[in-house]
């Protein structure tokens, strides 16, 4: 069975390994949070965030993984390099949570074929040249006829002279043939060289013309740029048209105008006549979420001011004066921010509610969930206190405009907000 193996190289869990069946892994959260699949010691591994990083398997390629930093304070490092966003993760990579923090080696066992290098085809070794050894000397004459050591017989000398003459004649014939061949080749080259020189001359002329045209165009461009404004000059010239927009809004219950709150529940509750802490290390109250149509999560909404935090945003953006009578072009997420994704604390893990009660899993344990990534308040699917639909609205508390050289804010109102694009007037 294929397994994802995490080997702890540094930190409080040094020397230990954690294994997960590859088929059951969709994502692994690394951190000190109680619900993290790869959990670190809350006291000893203090460089690690509650939800520090996440390993995610590619749904289209089950042996490919990515590593994501979850906006951790101390950063996530892959092979000693700090990462941002999603980066590919392959077996053998070393993950570090915070500079100087715990290190983990990522492995898959057995290693999938996608990561196995192809067999290298080596070139056949050339056979070694045959070494010509000295010929064995003929049998020596009887001892009585032996010559003094180092002497050469007459017949041997005559044979060596004959071989030298034959070798000289062969060398001469070879040299003559080479001279003839070079002469023929030289004539052929001289004939083709004249054509090559003509073609080369044409190419050189064309290249010179192209360079001249390029230089001429560059000169024209330089002259045009000389008459253009610099970025600083453009900014100064339009400074009077750029404005800062400060805004604040609340989500309200339309029939009464009452403020809408994100519901929180006690962290310690009674389940099956036993007191249970929903999240270890969290505060006395934790956020609650509900599942709406399509299986999407939303913050549980309530009108009780004592049961949660208000759904509200205060922020700022920029705009540009586009007409003489004061119309300003800006983004929709500035002029009507309740129509943009609401920002939750990524560490604001909470409990799931079903019909107003804490949802339990098959083991009778509370179901903990993360906040939704792209919940838009104006598009909530929840019903009001009387089970009525489409009763929650964003209400602008203020929208003030400030010009660069005038610190006095001016009140502004939205005239038109695009339904399709992030733009408003």
pLDDT reported for residue 176: 52
Per-residue pLDDT of the chain (425 residues; tens, 9 = 90+): 789 999 999 999 999 999 999 888 899 999 998 888 999 998 899 899 999 999 999 988 888 999 999 988 889 999 988 888 889 999 999 999 998 899 999 999 999 888 876 455 454 444 444 343 433 333 333 433 334 444 444 455 455 545 555 555 555 555 555 545 555 555 555 555 556 666 776 777 777 777 667 767 776 766 666 666 777 777 677 777 888 899 999 999 999 999 999 999 998 888 888 888 888 888 889 999 999 888 889 999 999 988 888 999 989 998 988 787 879 899 999 989 999 999 888 777 899 999 888 888 888 888 888 898 889 999 999 999 898 989 999 999 889 888 877 768 888 988 888 887 888 88
- Whether residues 336 and 402 fall in one domain: yes
Last residue of a domain, one of 113, 130, 164: 113
Residues 182 and 287 in one domain: no
User: How far are the Cα atoms of 33, 97, 251, 284, 350 from residue 346, in angstroms, in the given order?
Assistant: 12, 17, 21, 19, 11
162 assigned to some structural domain? no
212 and 91 belong to one structural domain: no
The CA–CA distances, whole Å, from 275 to 33, 268, 269, 378 equal 21, 7, 6, 37
Specify the pLDDT at position 417: 85
Report yes or no on 255 lying in a domain.
yes
Same domain, 251 and 191: no
Q: What is the pLDDT of residue 90?
A: 93
Residue range(s) defining the domain that contains residue 290: 240-411
* Together in a domain, 38 and 85: yes
> How crowded is residue 87: how many other Cβ atoms within 10 Å of its Cβ?
15
* Spatial CB neighbours of 40, under 8 Å, sequence gap ≥ 6: 11, 12, 13, 30, 31, 32, 48, 97, 102
Phi and psi at 76, nearest 5°, equal -120, 135
* Amino acid 177: pLDDT: 57
Angle at the Cα of 90 (from 49 to 122), degrees rounded to 5? 155
Q: What is the 3-state secondary structure (H, E, C) of the chain?
A: CCEEEEEEEECCCCCCEEEEEHHHCCEEEEECCCCCCEECCCCCCCCCCCCCEEEEEECCEEEEEEEEECCCCCCEEECCEECCCEEEECCCCEEEECCCCCEEEEEEECCCHHHCCCCCCCCCCCCCCCCCCCCCCCCCCCHHHCCCCCCCCHHHHHHHHHHHHHHHHHHHHHHHHHHHHHHHHHHHHHHHHHHHHHHHHHHHHHHHHHHHHHHHHHHHHHHHHHHCCCHHHHHHHCHHHEEEEEEEEEEEECCCCEECEEEEEECEEEECCEEEECCCCCCCEEEEEEECHHHCEEECEECCCCCEEECEEEEEEEEEECCCCCCEEECHHHHCHHHCCCCCCCCCCEEEEECCEECECCCCCECEECCCCCCCHHHCCCCCCCCCCCCEEEEEEEEEEEECCEEEEEECCCCCECCCCCCEC
Q: Is residue 228 a part of any domain in this protein? A: no
- pLDDT number for residue 117: 62
Q: By the 8 A CB rule, do 352 and 369 touch?
A: yes
- Residue 127 domain-assigned? no
The reply to whether 325 falls in a domain is: yes
In terms of domains, do 306 and 336 share one? yes
- CATH of residue 107: 2.60.200.20
Does 154 fall in a domain? no
Q: How far apart are CA 401 and CA 227, in angstroms?
A: 34
Q: Same domain for 188 and 310? A: no
Q: Name the domain boundary from 188, 220, 252.
A: 220
Number of structural domains (the chain) is 3
Q: Is there a single domain that holds both residue 212 and residue 248?
A: no
84 in Cβ contact with 106 (< 8 Å): no
Q: Are residues 247 and 356 in the same domain?
A: yes
**Residue 18 resides in a domain:** yes
Q: Does residue 108 share a domain with residue 23? A: yes
- pLDDT for res 273: 82
* pLDDT for 389: 87
Q: Is residue 151 part of a domain?
A: no
Q: Which one of 63, 80, 113 terminates a domain?
A: 113
Nearest to 399 by CA among 243, 241, 240, 239: 243
Would you state the pLDDT for residue 266? 92
Give the Cα separation of 39 and 232 in Å (integer): 51
Do the bridges between strand 285-291 and strand 350-354 make them parallel or antiparallel, or are there none, so unpaired? Answer: parallel
Is there a single domain that holds both residue 100 and residue 208?
Answer: no
Residues 404 and 278 in one domain: yes
- Stated pTM of the model: 0.48
Q: 129, exposed or middle or buried, with CB in 10 Å at 0-12, 13-18, 19+?
A: exposed
């Amino acid at each position: 069975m294929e397994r994802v193996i995490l080997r702890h190289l540094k930190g409080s869990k040094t020397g230990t390994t954690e294994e997960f069946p590859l088929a059951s892994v969709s994502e692994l959260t690394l951190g000190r949070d109680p619900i993290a699949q790869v959990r670190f010691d809350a006291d000893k591994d203090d460089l690690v965030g509650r939800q520090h990083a996440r390993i995610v398997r590619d749904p289209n390629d089950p042996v490919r993984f990515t590593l994501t930093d979850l906006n951790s304070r101390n950063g996530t490092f892959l092979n000693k390099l700090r990462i941002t966003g999603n980066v590919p993760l392959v077996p053998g990579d070393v993950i570090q949570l915070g500079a100087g923090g715990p290190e983990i080696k990522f492995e898959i066992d057995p290693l999938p074929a996608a990561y196995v290098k192809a067999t290298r085809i080596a070139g056949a070794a050339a056979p070694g040249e045959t070494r010509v050894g000295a010929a064995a000397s003929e049998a020596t004459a009887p001892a009585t006829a032996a010559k003094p050591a180092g002497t050469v017989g007459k017949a041997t000398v005559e044979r060596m002279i004959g071989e030298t003459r034959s070798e000289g004649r062969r060398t001469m014939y070879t040299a003559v043939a080479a001279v003839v061949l070079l002469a023929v080749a030289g004539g052929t080259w001289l004939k083709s060289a004249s054509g090559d020189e003509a073609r080369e001359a044409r190419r050189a002329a064309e290249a010179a013309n192209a360079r001249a045209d390029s230089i001429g165009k560059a000169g024209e461009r330089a002259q045009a740029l000389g008459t253009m404004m610099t970025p600083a000059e453009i900014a100064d010239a339009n400074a009077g048209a750029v404005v800062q927009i400060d805004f604040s809004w609340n989500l309200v219950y339309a029939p009464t105008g009452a403020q809408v709150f994100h519901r929180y529940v006690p962290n310690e509750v009674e389940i099956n006549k036993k007191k249970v802490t929903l999240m270890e290390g969290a505060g006395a109250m934790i956020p609650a979420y509900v599942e709406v149509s399509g299986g999407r999560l939303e913050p549980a909404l309530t009108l009780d001011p004592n049961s949660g935090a208000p759904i509200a945003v205060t922020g700022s953006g920029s705009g540009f004066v586009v007409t003489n009578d004061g119309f300003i072009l800006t983004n929709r997420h500035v002029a009507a921010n309740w129509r943009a994704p609401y920002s939750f604390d990524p560490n604001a893990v909470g409990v799931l509610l079903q019909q107003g009660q804490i949802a339990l899993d098959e083991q009778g344990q509370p179901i903990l969930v993360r906040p939704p990534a792209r919940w838009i308040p104006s598009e909530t699917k929840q019903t009001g206190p009387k089970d009525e639909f489409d009763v929650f609205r964003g209400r602008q508390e203020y929208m003030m405009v400030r010009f660069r050289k005038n610190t006095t804010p001016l009140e502004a109102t939205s005239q038109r907000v695009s339904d399709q694009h992030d733009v408003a007037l």
